[in-house]
Structure 1
Amino acid sequence: MASGIDLGLRQRGALAMTPALRQAIGLISLSNAELSARLADLTAGSAVLGVAVGAGAEDWLTLSRQIAPPPSGHRRPLQEMRRGPGGMDTDRIPLAEPGLISHVEAQLPLLVRDAEDRRIARIFLHALEPSGWLGAGLEEIATEAGCPAARAEAVLRQLQAAEPTGLFARSLAECLALQAEEQGLLTQPFAALLRNLPLLAAGRTEALAEACGCGEETVREMACSLRRLNPKPGAGFAQAASAGHPADLILRRDGEGWLLELNAETLPTLRLTPGAAAPPEALREARALVQALERRHATALSVAAEIVTRQDAHLRGAGPPAALTINDLAAATGLHRSTISRVTAALVLSMPGRTLGLRDLICAPVPAARRQEEPLSLQAVLARMREIVAGEDPVHPLTDKAIAQLLLPEGAALARRTVVKYRGLAGIPPRAARRRPA
């Protein structure tokens, strides 16, 4: 009788935790400051690698990511902005440092001749960021100045003739276009290159050649010229020392979208020493460390860019954060949830008037009232509960069950005991403590 044993070969894949992979994972969980210290330890005594803090001017393209505005165009209405004494949103638009301000003020009489236009120019000056970019939109400045947008734009064109070239740009592309025009580089293919910077950052030379209507060699030559331009023309002036935890990522407005970049001032860089005599094994380890660092930078930008895209409305000041989990980010980026957790726990994001950790933008959802609805975030529900209680009758305050019923049409399906828990998180006293005598 034949045996029922069947012999055969089966192939099974498994991820080996190699030393290089462990090293790459270890770098992901570090902030820029911690990364600098770690790389200094790893390269101590190395004749092959050198480490320095501060990215080179030629590295800016690979250390930044452009983020387009959402299709629905969530924008904070002008009348809803928090305004300072002059009407500008002083929480969101910080003044540049005196070095840059005084430098531009000295040029104003030459740039803007008309006295009324000079008044408008000073409002533009108030919105100038330390990078040299504008921190406010044209319509906002026109409203603050009480003039038509066309006149504000005419004043802006005069200000954009200031030195160094690229000041008062409203986007990365405009900043680079001003410099390219001055240097005689702004041909039709170069302008097309500026319109397709994300393709250049992704290294898609063939697609760029098609978009620019030229050969790949011409694209490479234009890219070399582009890397010599300065995306932050104001950064060379005196800046105030930043207090607290230094930012790992910087987010600023880029036209209607965002520009996200790794903080070049705190970012460590590795350089292979040319012509260094070292064993082949040492060279392989050095190249592996450089690649691990590049992967860390790309991963940080990918995760942070997805968070900014999901939380666009909140970052513009239009309400609390949206519901967003680590699993959501893992599904969107194709990264493991443990990688997402490490990145968001380590990195700090800075934007005009605000600094926060990436983990602060990950928000737990609450149960949705209907299956097809996008769940509300816990922060949104807490904010709505505070509004409901603030508007209740103090003689007859709402019960927890009544609060749950008011939240149901807005998309949150909460049990009474959940309302009790959320009420505690929101700092809302119980009904008895809120009751006032008639």
Structure 2
Amino acid sequence: MAKLGQMLVQSQQQVLKPQQILVSTLLQLPMMLLEQKIKTELELNPVLEEAEELEELEEEEETLEEDLDEEEKIKEEFEEIEENSKSEEDKINEEVQEEIDLSELIPNDEDDIPEPRMPVDRDEEERDMPEPYQATMSEHLLEQLHLLNLNEKDFRIGEYIIYNIRDDGYLDNEVSLEDIAQIFETTPEHVEKILKEIQKFDPPGIAARNLQECLTIQLEAKNEDGKYDLPLRILKECYDDFVNRRFEKVAEQLDIPLEKVREALIEISKLNPKPGEGYLDTRQNYIIPDFFVEKVDDELVVSLNEYKIPGLRISPKYLKMLKQPKKLDREVRKFLKDKVDSAKWFIKAIRQRQVTMQRTMEAIVEMQREFFEKGPEYIKPLIMKDIAEKIEMDISTVSRVCKGKYVQCDYGVYELKYFFNEGMETTDGEELSTLRIKERLKEIIATEDPRKPYSDEKLAEILNKEGIPIARRTVAKYREQLGIPIARLRRGI
């Protein structure tokens, strides 16, 4: 009995894990990348198809519902055929594993993917939006990934890596090879092998984990004749001294003339430290909001932007094939079952994404109500933990929802991370967000005498006089985050 219970737990983990991976992956995708992901899934899985018209789904529902009793009989017959070709151990596994429930795949009023919802009178505006001339970086990389001819598991790993590349072209430092290996039940070495293939993609230097690796990848890609051997040696053996401009030490360590180091510096300076930057302008100028927040009858209404997200369904053609199991050989039956499972998980993951996204945005709106009703100056301190506790989900889930997502409201389009900031209490007892403090800091610096710019200590003194208790070190941190140089470098600007 204990063995059967253990097998049941293992079986449940095997069933849930692909869904967990899918939901995790889909949650972090903004609108444009979700479109690409769905397109890729439709290409990979012949059982999954786009339902272009709602009527099409309804007709399919009526037809399949009439055959429910027949399907149950066929399902039993199908299982009997399967059991006859399995060992006794396989039969036990079959009993404890979740079976394909064909009725789950039939669209109905409760489970059907919601119709794309757009705010009133915005449909025409969306249709008129110009298509971007340039593909997104992820689309460009996915096109190259398809050319590698990987098996499905390795393709999924590559796809996961690509979706975790930041806008500047670097692999997100929150994602480790060990984490990816654990998700896909493989080794970090195998994940790194796929990462190395992606690092050969265009643009050169893509998917690097740090600047050193980024520059090294670019040099290795064009070092066929050994012309860049010295710059590569410097990057690999003397990187710290090189970036800190200790060129004499580099020359001494490699036993080469200083002039050679300078020549290498010229070659390295030609490289691109941000390989993703060629795609930034396109994405920044063509932001598709993931959410809309509108005021309707004095209520703030949150809606998901699903205008370009198609309805998905299981292909009726393949469902009919599954109704005739005796006409299919074992390999075809297994292939269809696997693909139907995969399609079912994908549709459920899309639905789960919708629910989680909606709940998260509604919680943000509720906790930042004054911002959405009165404007940016009313933003309040908020951390992701607050939202996670409110919707009873993990902080990592909230982080995935907010990553790279945008909301359109009466005051403009904002990235979701804009709404999360620490706060401090003023001497008057008012709770002030760091965003408002930074804005005030920027205003003070903008009005300073350029011949005598304020030091960080002076800035802290001014803010303290205004009732904002803040230390010099905190001022320095905020100034750096705003991209404002120190006082000495601001003089005369």
TM-score of the aligned structures, taking structure 1 as reference length: 0.47
Determine which structure has more spread, i.e. the larger CA radius of gyration: 2
Higher helix share: 2
